[in-house]
Amino acid sequence: MPLSFTKRPSLVAYVTCGDPDLATTRAVVLAAIEAGADVIELGVPFSDPLADGPVIQRASERALKHATTLDQILKLAAEVRQRSQVGVIIFSYLNPIMRMGVPEFCAAAATAGVDGALITDLPVEEAGDYRREMGKRNLATVFLAAPTSTDERLKSIAKASTGFVYAVSRTGITGARKQLPEGARDLVRRIRRHTKLPIAVGFGISTPEQFAAVGEFADAAVVGSAIVETIEHNPGQEAEAVAAFVKRLTAVSRECSATTGKG
């Protein structure tokens, strides 16, 4: 079922679980929620993160040194769910899901109270079995839509998505950028032709101004590398630093809403 984005833009906050350890991840997630994050993406560390830039690659390496597993992340998700009702998404490459088994993963995710999942390297054309298992457990599926996607493919992605559609703002790997890509607005416009689901824009959003700008044309902004980098640069004070960063992001959005009257 669709995730609820109650304000615009809503903040989808990504963390690499286990970086620097699971206890810190839990503290960071709860601090981000308290500071205003609307949806949490729990990133599953992977040894070959082809879609990710150097910041998240380093985070995955640190997490894997502690042998962070998908089982542990689902237990973390259950702990977060006991404390909050915000949306919780498992963000993973396909390999960890396949190692657990798709039916087993879906059952465990539902038990943990997870809302859905995004598998970054699972093409929509090959996702039939996964979608059926997720549907059995009433778990949301989220798929990536890229600027290079044809209109026909965007239609397929929109049809396969049940939580929200993740609009990749630019081609390439994840990572903070100084400017919001010009094609992001056009991509969201193209996706809206095919769905009434919320649309979240991600890849490269790192400043309060970029976050607020996304709210002009999309329902939510995904912030990942900037949060992971904040964790990396603040050892021992990760939760406090992320909370302060999240507050700065959402403050600009609130100011814009108050000025324009937009919700």
Confidence of residue 254 (pLDDT cuts 50, 70, 90): low
Q: Pick the residue with more confidence: 48 or 65? A: 65
* pLDDT above 90 as % of the chain: 79
Q: What is the mean pLDDT of residues 233-260?
A: 83
pLDDT at residue 233 greater than cutoff 50: yes
Q: Side-chain half-sphere of 23: how many Cα atoms within 13 Å?
A: 2
* Cα distance between residue 142 and residue 120, in whole Å: 9
pLDDT at residue 54 greater than cutoff 70: yes
In contact, 199 and 157? CB cutoff 8 Å:
no
CA-nearest of 216, 229, 152 to 184 is: 216
In contact, 173 and 213? CB cutoff 8 Å:
no
Would you state the pLDDT for residue 6? 83
Q: What is the mean pLDDT of residues 59-73?
A: 96
Would you state the pLDDT for residue 203? 85
Q: What is the mean pLDDT of residues 14-30?
A: 98
pLDDT at residue 176 greater than cutoff 90: no
- Residue 208 phi/psi, 5° resolution? -60, -35
Q: Is 151 a catalytic residue?
A: no
Strand partners, 104: none
Would you state the pLDDT for residue 263? 38
Q: Is 186 a catalytic residue?
A: no
Would you state the pLDDT for residue 224? 94
Would you state the pLDDT for residue 169? 78
The amino acid occupying position 191 is: I
Would you state the pLDDT for residue 260? 41
- Active site residue: 19, 38, 41, 238, which one? 41
- Active site residue: 52, 219, 229, 238, which one? 52
Digit-coded pLDDT (tens) for 180-210:
657 899 999 999 999 999 999 998 888 999 9
- Mean pLDDT of the chain, nearest integer: 91
pLDDT at residue 177 greater than cutoff 80: no
- DSSP 3-state assignment of 209? helix
What are the structural domains of the chain?
Answer: 10-139+204-260 (3.20.20.70)
Six-digit token string for 173: 């790997």
Digit-coded pLDDT (tens) for 94-127:
999 999 999 999 999 999 999 999 999 999 999 9
Phi-psi group of 8: left, alpha or beta (phi > 0 → left; psi -120 to 50 → alpha; rest → beta): beta
Digit-coded pLDDT (tens) for 127-175:
999 999 999 999 999 999 999 999 999 999 999 999 999 999 755 444 4
* Cα distance between residue 132 and residue 138, in whole Å: 10
